[in-house]
């Protein structure tokens, strides 16, 4: 069973990623996701650099991005991801009311996705253009 790789036991390549995460996020330690991914330093580095690029402020603000991340994780039923991205979204400003509405939208989307499947609804001509 995988185990976490702590900073003290990490290779230089892994430490470099940990350092960048800690500095970018201004946190004293990285969370478990990174400590497990560290078993594969190539994937660790690529995943961190991808996330850093994707989650940076852009056309969408970081809070919106975290809420989208949470909605996807809830849809997929990833317990760890729901816990960590709930925390991240709250840290980015998600209020209890926003969380409630986010869950309502996520739940309803999952419902109507299946109603559409079951009723075999064809795409309207207006959506084809």
Toward its own copies, which CB reaches closer, 7 or 31?
Answer: 31
Q: How far is the CB of 34 from its own copies (least distance, A)?
A: 9
In the complex, minimum distance from the CB of residue 7 to its own copies, in angstroms, rounded to a whole number: 15
User: Is residue 21 at the binding interface for its own copies, with CB under 8 A as the rule?
Assistant: no
24 binds its own copies (CB under 8 A): no
Q: How far is the CB of 44 from its own copies (least distance, A)?
A: 10
Residues 31-70 that bind its own copies (CB under 8 A): 31-33, 36-37, 39-40, 42-43, 46-47, 50-51, 53-55, 58-60, 64-65, 67-70
HSE toward the beta carbon, residue 53, CA cutoff 13 A: 6
The CA distance from 83 to 64, in Å, is: 17
Nearest partner of 89 among 71, 75, 77, 107, judged by Cα = 71
Tokens of 92: 């980015």
Residues 81-100 that bind its own copies (CB under 8 A): 81-87, 95-100
Rounded to 10 deg, the angle between the 79-91 and 62-76 helix axes is 160
Smallest distance, its own copies to C-beta of residue 24, A: 16
Number of helices (H) and strands (E) in the chain: give both, helices first: 6, 0
């Amino acid at each position: 069973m995988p185990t976490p790789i702590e900073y003290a036991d990490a290779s230089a390549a892994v430490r470099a990623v940990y350092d960048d995460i800690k500095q970018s996020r201004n946190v004293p330690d990285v969370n478990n996701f990174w400590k497990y991914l560290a078993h594969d330093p190539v994937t660790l580095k690529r995943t961190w650099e991808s996330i850093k690029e994707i989650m940076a402020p852009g056309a969408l603000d970081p809070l919106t991005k975290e809420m989208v991340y949470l909605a996807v994780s809830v849809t997929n039923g990833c317990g760890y991801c729901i816990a960590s991205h709930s925390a991240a979204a709250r840290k980015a400003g998600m209020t209890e009311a926003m969380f409630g509405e986010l869950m309502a939208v996520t739940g309803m989307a999952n419902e109507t996705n299946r109603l559409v499947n079951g009723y075999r609804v064809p795409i309207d001509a207006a959506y084809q253009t």
